[in-house]
Structure 1
């Protein structure tokens, strides 16, 4: 066993014993007594002034102390003995000189107020103009730089190219550098596009320029401002050179910007050339120039150039490959300038910066704004080039009459993007006004608004307070005499004034020197001098100022749009939009009784017998001239009876019944249903222009529908989609296509297809009533099956109630409830407007494009009310299936009536159809209740009115509430009939 394991442990030491031991040692130390004594003040009034005088008298009576000068450091000895070094002189002379140095320093003081002296003040050459302070940073440059170099000596770096210059040489060099030119110490580097120190490009060294009396940090800080100014001017000059090389196809804005930039650079150079110090001041300066004052004088100019460099994407901190690419398009270019100008207004930058950028914006945007103004006929009419369609075949013969231009191709050429400084109202009104001008020139090219001279109308930016107040009050702008960009050369007088400008070419070379003075910067200088330092209170922001600036343009745009709108609404003739709406409603929506009755007679039949005229081509002219008393002969067809359709459509037993006879017969339906007009005094009838042209603007057409699985129902005459191949087309006059566009006509045609389906079911139900009620033509249905006959009568009543309610809802609520208020709005007169603005109509339309949108929304509401929108496909299919079941019910009864099926065969079919119909109606009413409950106006059954007492439209989904009211909500139609 290791004996070290039995080493005795150290005894335990109590911490309290240690503290007591140290306390005993502290008591043994000697006590520290104070080395000064403050006598106790006597209990009597104190007089500090007298005490100070007594103390001074006591000090003056003391014997003089021996002078023991300390040993001076070597630096101080150099200052004390300028001629010879101290160690080369007699020691007694050195001691005497040191004593004299201290005595002179004590008596001179050199303006020192604090009584503290630094070692550099002891020399005799110390200036009396020194700042009375003890801080080294506030001493003269040589002292401060020496102290910094002594405390923090510069580290040697082989990659540094150090160049020491004096102030005069540096200022002469910087005067050239700030103008963007190479100088004695700095040259231009075309790669980095910066000014670099001479001799650093070849050796790839870092240039360090040391100004006498300044260290490298202070020298770099002083020189950086001048280098920044020169670099930015040189970069802007290079940008100007590239802008001048742009092609003329890129538009006038980029070239106007180049001219503005050239004027701005000339203006800045003139300012920098006159900045202190001048060359004479530098050459004649006997003392140091105020470098800090000169450096501060260039602060505003540096800020101006930095702002301009930001506008053009040439910031000082960017490399050439990081520059912004200026687009030639006017919109982004002008928006960029305005955004920078607005930013400087928000920052409250110096007025010269805001005025310079405003001048650039004014000149650069002038051509573009004039072009926009001409596009709406303000200050001139735009150049109009008709859009010609390309011929597909090069051998195609030219038409005798020139084809009308497509109005939509013309409107597609309208520019819809504008700069950011255009007000929001103007952005909304400009596209409509530009399109309105195109429509105006097509609709009424001789209108006074297009032919009247508008030379007085012009556009100008508002920058001065006088112009802003004049525009606000509607007064005449103050007279101004803008200086010309270039002064004309002075030439010898000529006898012929018209030929005086060519006198220059008659001179010999070198005879006369023409003095062409560039006064472009004078225009900018006058603009800067007149520029308001702050915006007036009526336009506190730049956006408000832009709104006031474009006020006249906005008024003209509103006038143009409202005038064209009045032409389509208020003026009579073939362009009256209301007359076209009435025509569309009468024919495509079956609102005209004469057309509806003739169409029903041509396409449908409510006869209770299956009969077909056996004469060939029964829908020809010979069939129309048939004697009315002659009955057609019966012919048993091979196909089931398509109840509700006209027998003449089924004579060939092919579907669809296309052919020339059908087209001619339907054409006569349109012509015969047209209004004859009012009878004149001479006995003739005079119709409106719209009705007169309706003979060839309206027409039936046949479209090709898709085929395939589930898409060929229109090929079956028994289907409810049997007549979907037929539609009505309408050709609105030029340029009314903007209000009756193909998209809007497509919505009319969808309604026309739906109405044909509904009329087919109605006619089929009428035939059912004839088959089951009129004893003269009907057979007794279900003579032995009494429950089936009762179910047939009950189903007939329920179907008739549903279809008649749906038909009444479609024509009265869905169509009439939306169309009538819209027509009433179009009847509003400008003279009855309640607004103070004469361009705002009481009908709420601001331009024809808003009217077209409202027209489209009207059809959307009608389609929504009839459950025909694409988003209502589910509930729309329920309604269509319910109508299909009713039609199938009539077809089954028709086959039973013809004897093609037996009553025991028809009974289960009718029971199945009635069960399906009840299920569909239950689901349909449940979905309709859900849609009505979601509608915000579900509880408003009464027709509300607009302001002015006009009727309010029933709307789309809101109208479904009326459909639920028409359909009995007690579900009595789903109950089985009672047995007797």
Structure 2
């Protein structure tokens, strides 16, 4: 603060410090030529020897005779100034001895000090000056005169020099450090700094030369201006900014009070005319300058900045709290003073109080739990019967998407991992089970608050009640109730107040300060520890301790919701819904699969010979009309789908027909769900399951679904499932779309299987089969060979899809959700919340799709697999046309030979690609399927890892590539 200060006085402009008087300058043309006053002779053109030259010069100087020292005379101007003094005060002195001799004699006679100066010639010189030889320790006028004479300043008409005493300086600086205007320094709004009050015009400048004495006051004023701007925003930005403004205001009051009490006070300056120890004064102000510098740096208004370069702060709660914490952490790391760390901790505590309370209430931690009214009954009520209420419900994913998932920087990583899931779990828990104990019995007075004292930190670590926060007390502001001096018995103590003067016993709130925040900050700074306790030595460890209870409650909330979805026997049992999805959308239920085969496919070996119990049309066409159709035979498809000779066969008849498939499958009461207490899920499956028809894109190469002869002919049909509303997070639309992709792939596979069965009937069964290729023996051999190869490939692929891809991944996932075995419980504990369970559910479907080569990243190898199935289907269609007599054997022979060559080429490419994938995959992909993991359960076959099993099934010495006999 007061590290360095200078005062300068200016000499009159007409004074000359040379030994000659000024004369009128001559005319320019009469001026003599300026010549140099020195001459440097050129060096001789010979080698130089500086050492010998120096020795010669030293020898010459040594032999020279001593020079007389001329006595310096006084300058002319000083002789003129001292004439009166010489005549009046020194008449007894002899002028022949000169003025210097009198000064010497005066020095030897009086011995005042060791300093000789012309200032002693003035009559007002104090003879009692100190004996110190330092000029800076002399009087103000003496040191100023000597400095002016030693360092004369150039005359400037715009330069205003102000001479002040130390007393005036200290009084002025005392006002400046408090952020107030003084007679010498005033506030400049444009630069937000204190500047000297020159008073000599706009371009004038004053010279007190007090460098570095207005930082404290300038920083205080900058914080006040920032506080005014902040208060204008607090109404719009929310409670965090309002609390921040209050904390800044309290900090400024505290700093001003401390600076006011710092020496020297105004009374000390006015009463004490002596010198003040400036170094001691500076040491008192240094800590507050450090604090102000840290605060202004926090808000981007440090001393190095001007208003145009101030930082534009983000006043959102997350941004401002993160900035405060980062600065506090930096001050802890650099071991700043206790006051700086305490004030920053106080600001962080107050600014984050409401935010932490909101975060705690978002997970039901505290007294209040936000309630959400659910308009849907999740206990068995039909969702389709509540159209009016359903329209008023908010979408579950939009509801969860509105939850804030970003938090300030001081939130520990473990809290960041569990807190968003806990917030969403609370919303789902209120929808799933409104009477849950966590919702009806809040956690009481528990809350999240910062811990700074050693007692609070140890209490939190030992899980004991935290010490109560004592109300701030101050000796200056506390009001003590007067008591009577009369002694009364114990039973009459209440009558003491009647002995007091009227009004003396009043103890209302109006006697207290308007706000106790200043006292709270003072108490906070006093009790703030110098170092954190060993149990939490760093700020990050302390932050983890602060959020310990919140993290425990969040984990309990997530596990409670997870137990409802896994262990509850009602409609929300997730495992029961998985069994429904596996049975119907993955066609794992035998009764449903057989009905689907009879409804959509046909394995009859004769065109038009099928007699189905169901039909899409009431008036069925005669067998003759069927035989007379001109369209090709879509081998493998049910003839009921081709009755109207349009594709796709959409209409109410198809919807009703497929609806009966689901109803009849559920009426058979299959053993889908083992627990009879969960039959409610099976009962509601009748209206939760349903077939739907979608419009697929058309265009060049994209309209194969419009042709019944193509393998994509049934892609327009898909199966949908409507889960209960709280379960939509586990069975989302994205997850259902993966089920539907598998459903479409399985329909394609079933179509090819039925087509191959029809081919076997056409070429084997004697009662309905003609002798294909009766005259072309080699073509018939190729037909039989191709039939065997295709059947082996399709059967191997079908077994792989159901046993390895679906069963190998789905069954271990179901085991982890089962509560019957110890191994499953161990897997169940691996799920932290329902969102992790949903991710695992999605990952299982991804593995199944990867195992079936249906992922978007596997398009190349997936196309190879699809082309192989397409070639097999084309082969059956060609044989079917030959069997119907629509083509001749000489026409069918080259077609079958070409298809066989294509099939061999595609199979060769498929196996080569699969081998490359298996070799580049993880080492576990080559392990047998039947090796069980150490926990006793089944290990999932995985996605790419399962392709090893597909390669083993179809790659048996390249038998499809062998030539026919």
| TM-score, length of structure 1 as denominator length | 0.81
CA-CA distance at 1:935 after TM superposition: 0.5
CA distance in 2, matches of 1:952, 1:275: 75
Query: Closer, same or farther in 2 for the Cα pair 1:108/1:739, shift >3 Å?
Result: farther
Deviation readout 1:406-431 (Å, 9 max, x if unpaired):
11111111011111111111112111
CA-CA distance at 1:619 after TM superposition: 3.0
CA-CA distance at 1:524 after TM superposition: 0.1
Query: Closer, same or farther in 2 for the Cα pair 1:912/1:295, shift >3 Å?
Result: same
- For 1:295, what is the secondary structure of its paired residue? helix
CA distance in 1, matches of 2:546, 2:51: 92
CA-CA distance at 1:709 after TM superposition: 1.4
Contact 2:234–2:242, Cα closer than 8 Å, also in 1: no
- 1:329-728 residue pairs with structure 2 within 5 A? 329-384=316-371, 399=388, 403-483=392-472, 516-611=513-608, 618-619=615-616, 635-674=627-666, 688-728=679-719
- For 2:923, what is the secondary structure of its paired residue? coil
Query: Closer, same or farther in 2 for the Cα pair 1:360/1:632, shift >3 Å?
Result: farther
CA-CA distance at 1:174 after TM superposition: 2.1
Unaligned runs of 5+ in 2: 1-44, 377-385, 483-508
Contact 2:616–2:640, Cα closer than 8 Å, also in 1: yes
Look up the match of 2:843. 857
CA distance in 2, matches of 1:855, 1:617: 37
Query: Closer, same or farther in 2 for the Cα pair 1:184/1:144, shift >3 Å?
Result: closer
Contact 2:322–2:409, Cα closer than 8 Å, also in 1: yes
Return the match for 1:771 from 756, 762, 774: 762
Return the match for 1:891 from 877, 883, 889: 877
Return the match for 1:784 from 772, 775, 779: 775
CA-CA distance at 1:476 after TM superposition: 2.4
Contact 2:570–2:677, Cα closer than 8 Å, also in 1: no
- 1:141-220 residue pairs with structure 2 within 5 A? 145-199=144-198, 203-205=201-203, 207-210=205-208, 216=209, 220=210
Q: Which has the larger displacement, 614-623 or 543-552?
A: 614-623
CA-CA distance at 1:605 after TM superposition: 1.0
Query: Closer, same or farther in 2 for the Cα pair 1:402/1:971, shift >3 Å?
Result: closer
2:73 pairs with 1:84 = no
CA-CA distance at 1:157 after TM superposition: 3.3
Query: Closer, same or farther in 2 for the Cα pair 1:85/1:336, shift >3 Å?
Result: farther
Deviation readout 1:921-945 (Å, 9 max, x if unpaired):
1111111111111102266322454
Look up the match of 1:880. 866
Contact 2:823–2:937, Cα closer than 8 Å, also in 1: no
CA-CA distance at 1:381 after TM superposition: 3.7
CA-CA distance at 1:107 after TM superposition: 8.8
CA distance in 2, matches of 1:172, 1:853: 71
- For 1:149, what is the secondary structure of its paired residue? helix
Query: Closer, same or farther in 2 for the Cα pair 1:184/1:452, shift >3 Å?
Result: same
Look up the match of 1:304. 291
CA distance in 1, matches of 2:58, 2:603: 139
Contact 2:140–2:165, Cα closer than 8 Å, also in 1: no
Look up the match of 2:310. 323
Deviation readout 1:318-350 (Å, 9 max, x if unpaired):
222332334342111111111111121122111
- For 1:540, what is the secondary structure of its paired residue? coil
Q: Which has the larger displacement, 81-90 or 872-881?
A: 81-90
Q: Which has the larger displacement, 146-155 or 264-273?
A: 146-155
Deviation readout 1:139-172 (Å, 9 max, x if unpaired):
7766665454334322333443332222212222
| TM-score, length of structure 2 as denominator length | 0.82
Look up the match of 1:911. 897
CA distance in 1, matches of 2:662, 2:680: 16
Query: Closer, same or farther in 2 for the Cα pair 1:768/1:677, shift >3 Å?
Result: closer
- 1:202-241 residue pairs with structure 2 within 5 A? 203-205=201-203, 207-210=205-208, 216=209, 220-221=210-211, 224-225=212-213, 227-241=214-228
- For 1:196, what is the secondary structure of its paired residue? strand
Q: Which has the larger displacement, 84-93 or 724-733?
A: 84-93
CA distance in 1, matches of 2:369, 2:73: 92
Look up the match of 1:756. 747
2:825 pairs with 1:827 = no
CA-CA distance at 1:655 after TM superposition: 0.8
Query: Closer, same or farther in 2 for the Cα pair 1:706/1:18, shift >3 Å?
Result: closer
Query: Closer, same or farther in 2 for the Cα pair 1:270/1:771, shift >3 Å?
Result: same
CA distance in 2, matches of 1:740, 1:119: 99
Deviation readout 1:563-586 (Å, 9 max, x if unpaired):
111111122211111111111111
- For 1:674, what is the secondary structure of its paired residue? helix
2:784 pairs with 1:793 = yes
Query: Closer, same or farther in 2 for the Cα pair 1:790/1:354, shift >3 Å?
Result: same
CA distance in 1, matches of 2:112, 2:825: 87
- For 1:942, what is the secondary structure of its paired residue? coil
Deviation readout 1:433-482 (Å, 9 max, x if unpaired):
11110001000111001110322211210112222222222222233313
CA-CA distance at 1:802 after TM superposition: 0.6
Look up the match of 1:956. 943
Deviation readout 1:153-205 (Å, 9 max, x if unpaired):
223334433322222122222222222222222222233222222245x8333
Contact 1:932–1:961, Cα closer than 8 Å, also in 2: yes
Query: Closer, same or farther in 2 for the Cα pair 1:434/1:27, shift >3 Å?
Result: closer
CA-CA distance at 1:122 after TM superposition: 9.3
Contact 1:240–1:258, Cα closer than 8 Å, also in 2: yes
Query: Closer, same or farther in 2 for the Cα pair 1:111/1:535, shift >3 Å?
Result: farther
Query: Closer, same or farther in 2 for the Cα pair 1:77/1:320, shift >3 Å?
Result: closer
Contact 1:131–1:138, Cα closer than 8 Å, also in 2: yes
CA distance in 2, matches of 1:969, 1:128: 118
Look up the match of 1:243. 230
- 1:106-117 residue pairs with structure 2 within 5 A? none
CA distance in 1, matches of 2:56, 2:714: 129
Query: Closer, same or farther in 2 for the Cα pair 1:620/1:686, shift >3 Å?
Result: farther
Query: Closer, same or farther in 2 for the Cα pair 1:831/1:228, shift >3 Å?
Result: farther
CA distance in 2, matches of 1:726, 1:754: 11
CA distance in 2, matches of 1:902, 1:154: 123
Contact 2:805–2:941, Cα closer than 8 Å, also in 1: yes
CA-CA distance at 1:23 after TM superposition: 15
Contact 2:815–2:824, Cα closer than 8 Å, also in 1: no
Query: Closer, same or farther in 2 for the Cα pair 1:27/1:860, shift >3 Å?
Result: closer
CA-CA distance at 1:71 after TM superposition: 5.6
CA distance in 1, matches of 2:52, 2:765: 141
- For 1:609, what is the secondary structure of its paired residue? coil
CA-CA distance at 1:239 after TM superposition: 2.0
Contact 1:165–1:209, Cα closer than 8 Å, also in 2: no
Query: Closer, same or farther in 2 for the Cα pair 1:25/1:874, shift >3 Å?
Result: closer
Contact 1:606–1:766, Cα closer than 8 Å, also in 2: yes
CA-CA distance at 1:525 after TM superposition: 0.5
